[in-house]
Structure 1
Amino acid sequence: MDWKLHAAALAAKAIHPLSPWWAPVTDVPRHVLVPRWFTPGARGWTMVNGPADEGAWAAAAHSDTTLVTRVGPVHADQAVSGQTVSGLPTSSATLPSLVVSMLDHGRLAPGMRLLDVATGSGYSAALTCHRLGDEMVTTLDVDAYLTEAAAERLERIGCHPDVVTADATAELPGVFDRIVSMVSVPRIPVSWLRGLAPQGRLVTTIAGTGLIITAGKTPDGGATGRVEWDRASFMATRTGADYPAQLDELFAAGAEEEGEVSLSPFPVLNVMQAWEVWSMLSLMAPGIEHRTGTDENGGRLTWMLHPDGSWARARTAPGERTATVHQGGPRRLYDLLDEIRWRWLEHGELPVYGARVTISPDGETTLSRGGWTATL
């Protein structure tokens, strides 16, 4: 297999030629780390066996694309060819340009000890081994199969980082100059602050948002930094084999109930595609599950569901610019969304990106900008 041409094309597409990550991206055979993956379809996820078609394997693995490697508790390595699996993605080989972007935010340099949080396929560990040296890289994941598979494949391509199976939010296996996380957290774990060396730097995303936080350790054991003018979204940390079940029962109930009816002055929005709005809404009401669709007449539909029992559904009819809203439960989720959209119209932006980040020694994380604050 001539994978080098594909790796060179990936580098040309994903990063600048003067980037210090150019050589690692061209030198790492990503296909070895991702031999099988899942593709989505109408009936679920289907496993693709890379070695069955080496040309397609090399092209797919060295494309700037996220390849889902685990759905629910089932890893692609353990699936039968052609088998359809249902559930939410629980691990992936993240698109290389995003991996490099997160590593860039880490401001890595030779001589620094790195903790790579969320081993996944092992690709970020491979890149950093090339840049920093094997002995400077520790990579960690909660899933024993992922770490075992990644360690074996990393060894096969000549990379030997310290691979650890552990909960990313528990005590860390050492002290590090840099912590870069490819999994999102609800707030900064206290263990990260304890495991960060003096003047160390951490990089992560906040669960349910598109916000990248970078922060440097302060003498009091906390950290300060900012929300970058960049965006990324990762799967959230998990402690078990799968994420909690989706709110299907609440969705079914909310689809039938009349609830409290109102008219929104705004059309239905796909919140998950509106990064600023989605991020701010998630900070105000963490844990919202969003669903979208269309009705038989072509009307646009959206649902918002929350574990506390709150629900909202809205419809914008074809040709209309307003939405009919139905809501129920302890909170009015759609009212929160409309408040955010009004704020955006009044100010021309939302305060989430570029916000100052202050992290106390006990992990309390506060974002602030222009008189606005939110504490995670």
Structure 2
Amino acid sequence: MDWKPYAADLATDAAHPGSDWWAPIMETPRHMLVERWFTPGRDGWTAVDGPSDERAWATAAYSDSTLVTRIGPVHADHAVTGQAVTGHPTSSSTLPSLVVTMLRHGRLTPGVRLLDLATGSGYSAALACHRLGDDLVTTLDVDPYLTAAAAERLDRIGRHPRVVTADANNELPGTFDRIVSMVSMPRIPVQWLTALAPEGRMVTTITGTGLIITADKDDNGGATGRVEWDRASFMATRAGEDYPPGLNDLFATAVEDDGEVTTSPFPVLDVMQAWEVWSMLTLMSPGIEHRTGTADDGSHMTWMLHPDGSWARAYTPAGEDITTVHQGGPRRLYNLLDEVRWRWLEHGELPVYGALVTITPDGETTLSRGAWSLTL
């Protein structure tokens, strides 16, 4: 395959001439790191075999898009061609522009030792090796197949970072000047602070939000930073082969039960597409699962589910301006959403982006901006 013209187009999309990341993108054969991937369909996810159609392979590999490589416990390398797989994505090759965004926030100056968390396909490690040199890059993933496959493919393209199979929530394998995570975390593990060198820098996203946190290590062993103004969202960290099952039983309740019926003055919102609202709501109540659908009259519907048994269902009947809300369980989730939306109207913004981040030596992380503060 003559992949270099495709890589040049990708470099144009994900960076710019003169950028520190221009050459790494142009000179990294992403297609060799992602030989098979999944595409969604009506019946589930179907694996695509790159080598069987080189043009489609090149087009997909050098697009600025995420390629899903694992559904539940099934990697695309092991999926049966033409047979749909059901479940949620558990690994991917993240869109290159987002990989570069995270690495840029890491400020990868010459000589720094980098820990690249969530190896995935190995693409972020390959770009980092181009910038820093193989000896300064360690890449880590919890999945032994991912690390083994990435190590073999990285070796094939001439990149040899240290590849480690481990849980990012546990002790990390060494001391690093930079920790850049391509997986989201519910909070900052204290082990990251222990592994971070003096004046070192960490970059991560918070699970269930669009928030990028950057923080530099303090003399006291904690760290101080901020929530960046740009946004990103990654898959959540996991300890096993798959994520816990979704709240399908609770969803059935939320579909059928009347619960407590109230109204809301706001139109139905696809919360996960409203990043600022979604992030604020998650910080207030982590773990909410959002689903959307269509009512019989064609109106948009939304459901909110929580592991504590709380649920909400909302829709705006056709021809009406008021949203009908059904809620049940120990908490009223939709009330929390309306509280966030009222705050946005009253202040013209929400305080999450641009917030100061303070991390104590034991990992307690507090976000604050103006009179608002919240501890993860």
Task: Report 1:343-354 matches (<5 A).
Answer: 343-354=343-354
Q: In 2, are the aligned partners of 1:106 and 1:178 still within 8 Å (CA)?
A: yes
Aligned to 1:236: 236
Aligned to 2:25: 25
Q: Does 1:50 align with 2:50?
A: yes
CA displacement at 1:318 relative to structure 2: 2.5
CA displacement at 1:366 relative to structure 2: 0.3
Aligned to 1:296: 296
The secondary structure found in structure 2 opposite 1:345 is helix
Aligned to 1:158: 158
Aligned to 1:318: 318
CA displacement at 1:299 relative to structure 2: 1.1
Aligned to 1:98: 98
d(CA) in 2 for partners of 1:170 and 1:302? 37
Aligned to 2:134: 134
Give the unaligned 5+ runs of structure 1: none
d(CA) in 1 for partners of 2:243 and 2:39? 19
d(CA) in 2 for partners of 1:285 and 1:251? 18
- The code of the aligned residue for 1:122 comes to G
**Count of residues in Structure 1 that have an aligned counterpart in Structure 2:** 376
CA displacement at 1:16 relative to structure 2: 1.8
Q: Which string of whole-angstrom CA distances, capped at 9 and with x for unpartnered residues, describes residues 289-317 of structure 1?
A: 00001112111100000000000000112
CA displacement at 1:110 relative to structure 2: 1.3
TM-score by length of structure 2 reads 0.99
CA displacement at 1:319 relative to structure 2: 3.6
The secondary structure found in structure 1 opposite 2:302 is strand
Q: Which string of whole-angstrom CA distances, capped at 9 and with x for unpartnered residues, describes residues 168-218 of structure 1?
A: 111000000000000000010100000000000000000000000000000
d(CA) in 2 for partners of 1:318 and 1:115? 52
d(CA) in 2 for partners of 1:158 and 1:320? 62
Task: Report 1:86-235 matches (<5 A).
Answer: 86-235=86-235
d(CA) in 2 for partners of 1:211 and 1:12? 26
Q: In 2, are the aligned partners of 1:268 and 1:316 still within 8 Å (CA)?
A: yes
d(CA) in 2 for partners of 1:320 and 1:108? 54
- The code of the aligned residue for 1:35 comes to E
CA displacement at 1:324 relative to structure 2: 0.1
TM-score by length of structure 1 reads 0.99
d(CA) in 2 for partners of 1:152 and 1:319? 59
Q: In 2, are the aligned partners of 1:310 and 1:331 still within 8 Å (CA)?
A: yes
CA displacement at 1:320 relative to structure 2: 3.1
d(CA) in 1 for partners of 2:226 and 2:210? 14
- The code of the aligned residue for 2:71 comes to V
Q: In 2, are the aligned partners of 1:114 and 1:176 still within 8 Å (CA)?
A: yes
Runs of 4+ in 1 over 2 A off after TM superposition: 318-322
The secondary structure found in structure 1 opposite 2:146 is helix
- The code of the aligned residue for 1:225 comes to G
d(CA) in 2 for partners of 1:143 and 1:55? 30
The secondary structure found in structure 1 opposite 2:38 is strand
d(CA) in 2 for partners of 1:141 and 1:239? 10
Aligned to 1:357: 357
d(CA) in 2 for partners of 1:319 and 1:23? 55
d(CA) in 1 for partners of 2:80 and 2:351? 47
The secondary structure found in structure 2 opposite 1:103 is helix
Q: In 2, are the aligned partners of 1:300 and 1:318 still within 8 Å (CA)?
A: no
- The code of the aligned residue for 2:154 comes to L
CA displacement at 1:14 relative to structure 2: 1.3
Aligned to 1:16: 16
d(CA) in 2 for partners of 1:352 and 1:340? 11
Task: Report 1:47-86 matches (<5 A).
Answer: 47-86=47-86
Q: Which string of whole-angstrom CA distances, capped at 9 and with x for unpartnered residues, describes residues 103-144 of structure 1?
A: 000011110000000000000000000110000000000000
Aligned to 1:373: 373
d(CA) in 2 for partners of 1:329 and 1:40? 33
Alignment RMSD, CA only?
0.6
Aligned to 1:331: 331
